[in-house]
Amino acid sequence: MGIVALTMKASVIEMFLVLLVTGIHSNKEMIKKIKRPKFTVPQISCDVKAGKIINPEFMVKCPAGCQDPKYHVYGTNVYASYSSVCGAAVHSGILDNSGGKILVRKVAGQSGYRGSYSNGVQSLSLPRWRESFIVSESKPKKGVTYPSALTYSSFRSSVAQTGETTKAYQRPPVPGTTVPPVTLAQVLTVTVAEATHTTLPRPFPSTTSTTSSPRPQPAGHRNRDTDLWSTADYTSSQNRPGASPGIPRQDLSGAAFQRPATADVSLGSVPKEELSTQSLEPVSLGDPNCKVDLSFVIDGSAGLGKRRFRIQKQFLADIAQALDIGPEGPLMGVVQYGDNPAPQFNLKAHTNSRDLKTAIEKITQRGGLSNVGRAISFVTKNFFSKANGNRGGAPNVAVVMVDGWPTDKVEEASRLARESGINIFFITIEGAAESEKQHLVEANFANKAVCRTNGFYSLHVQSWFGLHKTLQPLVKRVCDADRLACSKTCFNSADLGFVIDGSSSVGTTNFRTVLQFVANLSKEFEISDTDTRVGAVQYTYEQRLEFGFDAYSSKADLLNAIKRVGYWSGGTSTGAAISYALEQLFKKSKPNKRKLMVLITDGRSYDDVRIPAMAAHLRGVITYAIGVAWAAQDELEVIATHPAKDHSFFVDEFDNLYQYVPRIIQNICTEFNSQPRN
Ligand SMILES: *[C@@H]1O[C@H](CO)[C@@H](O)[C@H](O)[C@H]1NC(C)=O
């Protein structure tokens, strides 16, 4: 022991000395650098994009001639890292066309880049990009050491950099297989092969042909292959990747149908030159500001028609592009519904926008009815499983596309989905006209399906031609993690059971105060059968159920019921009361609800509380113990969930109980929010 300690001490001292020496050494170097700022400034060519350079801050020398429009620049002042570094320098006026030294600093990605004409360079707009940079004059900042050689992110760079590291970007393994990490070069080879060989098996072959035998339609459910689209349909062979939906121009009223284009250049239509070099960009890890697990539930019913189905696919592809899919950002899977739901691919099947778009292009229409409710149930039960790539820490979002109206009910299925933590969005297209409303299985189905009717969770367009208008709002909303809490919050996700001491020592007046306390706590929650439910037990020597979780489904009814609870008077068997509450209240709690027990007592229990309390904790009932007057602190701490200081409270007088309402609520919510989402 002594020897070991001694050796350890010696090595610690040794380490300390090494650190000291290195410290002095590097300090010296620093001083040298500041004294002599001359170092070799690396030279780059006009076509080098900032995204290729890994260094966060660097100085470079640009050649002459970077004003040429072939070196694309995206943005103004702040440029997307997809831009030519030197082109951006000319655009921002730091350099003229004769080249020179500049300073480049990487900054965070933006949600939009504005194009402008400046200093002879036309820059382009871009909706969003993962990284940006700014350019300034080459005045080195004091104390900053600039690299004299740059680190490039891809294996093929336009400047030969001997001895520089290259970073191999890895693609996550294909589900179900364990493959060694792939380099970018391998990824590219694979992608090219996938793109050119049409004989590759489709992930989920379609089971229903929409052309050969159309399924019977329910009365009133539209089959619109014939109404709006009377001209000959396009064959699927014309449906090539990247092609716009096959809609004859004359069918479009003016320029009604356009690609989503809030900017000059949407990501989906990067100029040709860019597309050819795009493969050199590293595979994106995804937009970290939008980490969601997304399920698109798409309409494949026969009534939809082929062209609308194609518009839907194009929309999906545009979404996939706009979202910047990746393992560190959003993941997206697709389920198609007809008579029955069919998974097209799950969350982990395609983990970048490009692969995803290729997969979307391969989806074929199933046909059949429009059984949306069945599809939502499928999503709840199967889609968001861990095996299907659900990450757990990311909010679950389902976007349901509905043409016209569903042929089954959606309300109940949606409620169950919401209760299991899925944020449901509905995009409804071409809803029922007044004359068609009689055919609806469920009037107002979208409002019944989504979380609340404030419009956040539903989008409606009159026509498929207008679908692209929903792209930007949808992308913004599904990425807004703070607002996605609607399906589950600390206020709407609990089964809250009160265990109330009705012993003689409390007295009538104080008992009223306790009931007020119960009411004040309950008031903070959203009360309904699908949100938070409240139950209550009163105890003395004995116990009785005042009301169960299923008794009241509105706040008003609940508050009235609390008022009506009659004071019992008797002894204090707190242990038995906890056991009773577990049996009579929490046994009937829903599996996906947070079980919260609030026990209020004014004295030491006649019976043992340890075992019943442990049983409560083991069953996942989060227990708060509120003690008043003669209550025993040690007992409260045994009853309370660990850590006791957050779950047990003591007050001298009943009149001070009210002070703990905000504290308990705050604690409940803090605990809720600190759990992983969904
Ligand atoms: C309950 O709330 C009412 C109204 O805010 C307040 O006057 C009362 O003191 C509160 N009582 C308890 C016990 O929380």
**Chain centre distance of CA 255:** 34
Please list the helix, strand and coil fractions of the chain in percent, rounded to the nearest 5, in that order. Answer: 35, 20, 45
Is residue 184's pLDDT more than 60? no
Contacts for 387 with CB less than 8 Å, ≥ 6 apart: none
The closest alpha carbon to 343, from 351, 333, 352, belongs to 333
Say if CB 59 and CB 101 are below 8 A apart: yes
Q: pLDDT over 90 for what percent of the chain? A: 50
Residue type at 603 in one-letter notation:
G
CA nearest 531: which of 568, 478, 490, 559? 490
Cα four-point dihedral sign 20, 25, 30, 35: positive
Whether the pTM exceeds 0.85: the reply is no
Q: Which residues, including other chains, have CB under 8 Å from residue 413's CB and lie 6 or more apart? A: 373, 374, 376, 377, 380
List residues near ligand 1 (CB under 6 A).
513, 516-517, 520, 657-658, 661
Using the predicted structure, report yes or no on whether residue 253 has a pLDDT greater than 60.
no
What residue ranges define each of the domains in the chain, with the CATH number in brackets?
50-151 (2.170.130.20), 288-483 (3.40.50.410), 494-673 (3.40.50.410)
Per the structure block, which two tokens stand in for 226? 């014939």
Count of CB atoms within 10 A of residue 481's CB?
16
Query: What residues contact 405, with CB distance under 8 A and at least 6 apart?
Result: 221, 370, 431, 432, 439, 440, 441, 445
Chain segment 14-39, per-residue pLDDT in tens: 555 444 444 444 444 444 444 455 67
Of all protein residues, the one whose alpha carbon is nearest to atom 14 of ligand 1 is 658
Per-residue pLDDT tens over the stretch 270-314: 443 333 344 445 678 899 989 899 999 999 999 898 999 999 999
**What is the 657 CA–ligand 1 centroid distance (Å)?**
9
* Tokens read off for 138: 């080459």
Tell me what pLDDT residue 222 has.
Answer: 54
Mean pLDDT of 574-590: 95
Q: Residue 495 half-sphere exposure, CB side, CA atoms within 13 Å?
A: 24
Question: How do residues 426-445 score in pLDDT, each as one tens digit?
Answer: 999 998 888 888 888 888 88
The yes-or-no verdict on residue 512 having pLDDT over 70 is yes
**CA-closest residue to ligand 1 atom 6:** 658
List of residues 6+ apart from 355 with CB closer than 8 A? 191
Does the pLDDT value for residue 12 go beyond 70?
Answer: no
Q: Under a CB-based contact definition with an 8 Å cutoff, are residues 623 and 582 in contact? A: no
13-19 contact pairs (CB < 8 A, 24+) = none
Mean pLDDT within 190-198: 36
Tokens 């367009």 label which residue? 461
pLDDT in tens, 320-330: 999 999 999 99
Tell me the pLDDT of the chain averaged across its residues.
78
Tell the burial category of 368 from Cβ atoms under 10 Å away from its Cβ (0-12, 13-18, 19+). buried
Tens-place pLDDT, residues 474-501: 999 999 876 776 556 678 789 999 999 9
For atom 9 of ligand 1, the residue with the nearest CA is 658
Of 154, 133, 124, 121, nearest to 85 by C-alpha is 133
Question: How far apart are the CA of 517 and the centre of ligand 1, in A?
Answer: 7
Summarised one tens digit per residue, pLDDT across range 524-547 is 898 887 679 999 999 999 999 999
